[in-house]
Structure 1
């Protein structure tokens, strides 16, 4: 998976258009498109940093290879452990996630 593939995947998962991401990251839409289409394959670290911040992911998540993407961020593991410790159930967490998806779709 290339940098462009990862950027596109994160963008789509966050339900952002190419224009929205370009605007939030303050980068040229045409250049962003060329990265996502793998026409350009070596973006500057400045570009990667801007895009990663706009997508709310670390630079590492944009740069790392496919095998590394399957690792869970340790901070998420800590959050889940804390939630379990205070009595949050799987059902509670699932309902929260579903509400967040609903909110994202309906509140713009």
Structure 2
């Protein structure tokens, strides 16, 4: 996941892989392996050099990865919830019948915040 983030930020900054390699002093093949997630655990030193050239702090570079993983986890939870609804015999049309319960839960959650 870190590799995709590096690739996206690199492209946003307008750098080619060769330019990033030159500016970081990290070989183009190694950077390519990181971006394609073939090298999934680059050292902190390598990450700091990449972050410096891309003009983002290390925390931001890593946070993007954490946010993406969190979103994927949340999406999986929702898909599991939908699957459980289907297993219990509730179909898509019946979900509207439960809207009152959902609205109450929403109201309750906002009230206790």
Structure 2: distance between partners of 1:55 and 1:19: 13
Find runs of 4+ consecutive structure 1 residues off by over 4 angstroms.
Answer: none
Computing the radius of gyration from Cα coordinates, the structure with the larger value is 2
Equivalent in the alignment of 1:4? 3
Aligned to 1:73: none
- Structure 1: tracts of 5 or more residues without a match: 69-108
* Structure 1 residues 11-63: Cα deviation after superposition (integer angstroms, max 9, x where no partner): 00011100000111111110000000011100000000000000000001221
Structure 2 vs 1, CA of residues 18 and 58 (structure 1 numbering), >3 Å: closer, same or farther? same
TM-score by length of 2: 0.56
Is the partner of 2:47 in helix, strand or coil?
helix
> Please, what is the CA RMSD of the aligned residues?
1.4
Partner in structure 2 of residue 58 of structure 1 = 57
The aligned runs of 1:1-108 (5 Å cut-off) are: 2-64=1-63, 65-66=66-67
Q: Which runs of 5+ in 2 are unaligned?
A: 70-113
Normalized per residue, the structure richer in helix is 2
State the TM-score, normalized to the length of structure 1: 0.59
